[in-house]
Amino acid sequence: MVDATSFSSPLPPQSTTVYHNCQTYNLQRLIVLLCRKLEGASKRGADVAVANLLCLLRILLQDLMEHLTPAQLQAFLSWPAPGSPHKVAVERDAQEEEQTPVEQQLVGACLRALVARNDPAASAGEYLTQLHLLQLLLVMLSTQLYCQDLDEQGLELPLLAAVLEQSEVDPVSVVETLLRLVIVGPQAPLGLRLFLPTDTRAILRSLVWLPMSAFSFLLRRQPAAPGQSPLGLHACLLLLTLCFHALPGEGAEGALTVRTPGPYRLALHGLRDADDAEATAAAAEDGRGALGRGPRASFPALFACLTREPVAPPETALLLYLVLHDGGDFRGYCLARTDPEALLLPLLGALQREDAGRGDRGAVYVLLTLLLAFSSDAGWAAALHRVWLEATPPWLKGRARAKQPLGSLALSVLLRSAHASVARHGDAFLQTNTLAVLANLAPHVTGLTSEAAQRLVSLLALLARRWRRLAADAAGLTTMAAAVGNPATAADGTPEATSLAVSESTSAAAAESAQLAHDFLRMALESASAVLERALPANPALVYALLHRGELFEGLPRDDPGLRVPLANILAVIDHFTRALARSLGEGAAALDAGTVMAAIRHDSRAWRGDRLQRGADLHFAYEEGLQAHSFFVPCVWARVVAASSLSWDLDAISLFTPEGAVGCSI
């Protein structure tokens, strides 16, 4: 049993009630009392007293987790061993409960209470109880926050293990309940005041707009988005943490093996559309009953919830990834819809926000992964270029344009992100995924706008400059390595090989960087070539941009095996239209305005024959979750929990990631 000397740091004031728990077992008694209260509340309805008890236990457990190791926490929660002098006292009060570990009792009672509540907004007591249930479960799963290595051998996470191993409540019911809360987004009953931490800079604005906010609240009829409803937000965060987590007990030996998904993520695999009567009937015919059934949710309502915000919040993007990757038929439902703009615009707005703001690369990773997953479907990629936007998205304020194809807007935002990743971050993952999405969209591009075309050519110029520089550096280091091939001889007659080893290592790293830059340039050139091969007459803006920067391509090596075909196609287009413009506009074509040149390009494009170009490789990229995906998603999800939940966290105690003011995925 843990005593006062076991704490790694002084206990906070909130934990003084359990300071002598090794003699009193007050924490265990409190948990048993809570379990009994929750069982009673499921029959008679919850009141504020139950919510207060949940809140108290959550505060105590959170403080203990921040000051105890997992092994100490497990000992702290244990009942006394047989023969203990405190045994009789405990038996008088909790004889039956002692037979089951206290953490298992707590998990079972909380999950049973969670799935039993159908109308959390029925009363203030019900709403508070549901909210504090979600927060307590989040805290119970937060033992991962204080682990530096998720693949540590013999990792001990007692409360997380209890949640994953419990068998009293079907994980399908838990997932279904959380999805329902996310979709409905219940608002607090009138008169209930909740403490929700917010940015202090918004205080004055809140005071000014309070009357209007109250009026809007009274008139609201649509369910709120997850970020606008405390219950919806915390249900979203809890579902993410239940599906993305470390595996207690699995360590370094299993790090490179296939990791079995947890029970809640496995349950999500069977997600079915509650509005699809045919799917429900088919499931009944297949004999998929209570334990074998999957969770049910209305796909139209779930889609509307995930796409309601003009700019997708990070937790919404993570939930979209989860239901897209593991959510049964939900991906097919999204791809079959005829309004791709409803899904794409919030993702593009979020990508624009991250690139223009703090540059949260964790959020950008998730957004690019989503775009890659959708763009790998050829039908969806082609549909983007058949949709024309009548109005400018709200996140493009101050940059109003006439109607434009959705595909061109997507390419413009993607190319901006790619340019930023090359110029600022040098992140290979960001560049690879961005160029992969670009390659998936390129064969279907029509009506490319001038802005998107100019950004594509600017990206080609940036990648070409970067490759030339890295290739020159690599060549210089290779020459240097050869120059030190005959090392000096030491006093004892042995060769001094240190300088040679360092030179060879540096040369190899430089050569690898140059090859990576070459691959990025090749992918971008192949994407531009694919647009020209398949739909040059429909993309005169790209021809104009290539003519305007024609000197860029003259300096690239035409005999390079990887660049030869796309470079030859681009040069052929430049040569053809340079001659055509000279014939139609005369020798003064270079001095004409852009409108006249574009009109001439459109006219000459009518006689263009596609067989003038060589057929390049058909590039197609798809997303597949890697074996070590948890190393990214677990810290990323918990960074969002710390940043978005209404709980207070000790940032100094967190080891899983480095909090930056509890904002972003700093991993």
Q: In this predicted model, what pLDDT tens digit does every residue of 550-577 receive, in sequence order?
A: 888 888 998 899 899 999 999 999 999 9
Q: What is the predicted pLDDT for the residue at 480?
A: 62
Q: What is the predicted pLDDT for the residue at 508?
A: 81
Q: What is the predicted pLDDT for the residue at 341?
A: 94
pLDDT digits (tens, 9 = 90+) for 13-48: 545 555 677 777 888 889 999 999 988 877 777 778
DSSP line for 54-105:
HHHHHHHHHHHHHHS-HHHHHHHHSPPPTT-TTHHHHHHHHTTGGGS-HHHH
Contact 21, 27 (CB under 8 A): yes
Q: What b/e string do you get for 83-122 counting C-beta neighbours within 10 Å, with b at 16 or more?
A: eeeeeeebeeebeebbeebbbbbbbbbbbbbbbbbeebbe
Q: Is 386 exposed, middle or buried (0-12, 13-18, 19+ CB in 10 A)?
A: middle
DSSP three-state, residue 11: coil
Least confident of 208-217, 475-484, 538-547, 648-657: 208-217
How would residue 11 be classed by pLDDT, with cut points 50, 70 and 90?
A: low
Cα separation of 37 and 47, whole Å?
10
Is residue 368 predicted with pLDDT exceeding 70? yes
Q: Is 365 exposed, middle or buried (0-12, 13-18, 19+ CB in 10 A)?
A: buried
CA atoms within 13 A on the CB side of 403: 6
Is residue 125 predicted with pLDDT exceeding 90? no
Is residue 658 predicted with pLDDT exceeding 80? yes
How would residue 522 be classed by pLDDT, with cut points 50, 70 and 90?
A: very high
Cα separation of 491 and 625, whole Å?
56
For the beta carbon of residue 574, count every other beta carbon within 10 angstroms. 19
Q: What is the predicted pLDDT for the residue at 199?
A: 41
Is residue 527 predicted with pLDDT exceeding 70? yes
- Rounded mean pLDDT, 460-487: 77
Cα separation of 164 and 245, whole Å?
10
How would residue 521 be classed by pLDDT, with cut points 50, 70 and 90?
A: very high
Least confident of 39-43, 74-78, 265-269, 623-627: 39-43
Amino acid at 464: A
Q: Between vectors from CA 38 to CA 36 and to CA 43, what angle results, nearest 5°? A: 100
Cα separation of 607 and 584, whole Å?
13
Cα separation of 107 and 123, whole Å?
24
Question: Which H or E run contains 522?
Answer: helix 498-535
Task: Of 591, 522, 600, give the one whose Cα is nearest residue 563.
Answer: 522
Amino acid at 664: G
| DSSP state letter for 310 | S
Q: Which residues are bridge partners to 10 per DSSP?
A: none
Is residue 256 predicted with pLDDT exceeding 50? no
Cα separation of 195 and 463, whole Å?
50
Q: Which residues are bridge partners to 405 per DSSP?
A: 388
Cα separation of 259 and 277, whole Å?
34
Altogether, the residues listed in the chain come to a count of 667
DSSP three-state, residue 389: strand
- The token duo for 408 is 């061109």
Q: What is the predicted pLDDT for the residue at 589?
A: 57
Amino acid at 88: V
Higher pLDDT, 141 or 7: 141
Q: What is the predicted pLDDT for the residue at 351?
A: 92
Cα separation of 419 and 9, whole Å?
47
Least confident of 156-170, 289-303, 455-469, 471-485: 471-485
Q: What is the predicted pLDDT for the residue at 646?
A: 87
Is residue 358 predicted with pLDDT exceeding 90? no
Is residue 483 predicted with pLDDT exceeding 70? no
Report phi then psi at 419, rounded to 5.
-60, -40
Is residue 338 predicted with pLDDT exceeding 80? yes
pLDDT digits (tens, 9 = 90+) for 562-621: 899 999 999 999 999 998 888 877 766 556 778 888 898 998 888 888 788 988 888 899
Predicted structure pTM score: 0.85
Question: Which H or E run contains 297?
Answer: strand 296-297
Q: What is the predicted pLDDT for the residue at 404?
A: 85
Least confident of 67-71, 93-97, 472-476: 93-97
How would residue 264 be classed by pLDDT, with cut points 50, 70 and 90?
A: very high
Task: Give every CB contact of residue 122 below 8 A, 6+ residues apart in sequence.
Answer: 45, 189
Is residue 495 predicted with pLDDT exceeding 80? no
**What is the average pLDDT value for the chain, to the nearest integer?**
80
Least confident of 193-207, 270-284, 649-663: 193-207
Helical segments of 244-276, H only: 263-268
CA torsion 142→146→152→157, rounded to 10°?
A: -40
Higher pLDDT, 328 or 116: 116
Q: What percent of the chain has pLDDT over 90?
A: 41
Cα separation of 378 and 404, whole Å?
21
- The token duo for 550 is 């024609």
Contact 121, 186 (CB under 8 A): yes
- The token duo for 568 is 């030859």
Q: What is the predicted pLDDT for the residue at 307?
A: 93
DSSP three-state, residue 428: helix
Higher pLDDT, 372 or 258: 372
Q: What is the predicted pLDDT for the residue at 361?
A: 79
- Rounded mean pLDDT, 639-646: 91
Q: What is the predicted pLDDT for the residue at 420?
A: 85
Q: Which residues are bridge partners to 450 per DSSP?
A: none
Is residue 429 predicted with pLDDT exceeding 90? no
Is residue 154 predicted with pLDDT exceeding 90? no
Q: What is the predicted pLDDT for the residue at 285?
A: 58
pLDDT digits (tens, 9 = 90+) for 51-91: 999 999 999 999 888 888 888 888 888 877 666 655 545 44
Q: Is the dihedral of CA 567, 573, 579, 581 positive or negative?
A: negative
Is residue 638 predicted with pLDDT exceeding 90? yes
Q: What is the predicted pLDDT for the residue at 362?
A: 85
- The token duo for 541 is 């803006």
Cα separation of 222 and 381, whole Å?
31
Q: What b/e string do you get for 519-551 counting C-beta neighbours within 10 Å, with b at 16 or more?
A: bbbbbbbbbbbbbbbbbbeebbbbbbbbbeebe
Higher pLDDT, 414 or 628: 414
Q: Which residues are bridge partners to 296 per DSSP?
A: 272
Rounded to 10 deg, the angle between the 540-548 and 450-483 helix axes is 40
Contact 613, 532 (CB under 8 A): yes
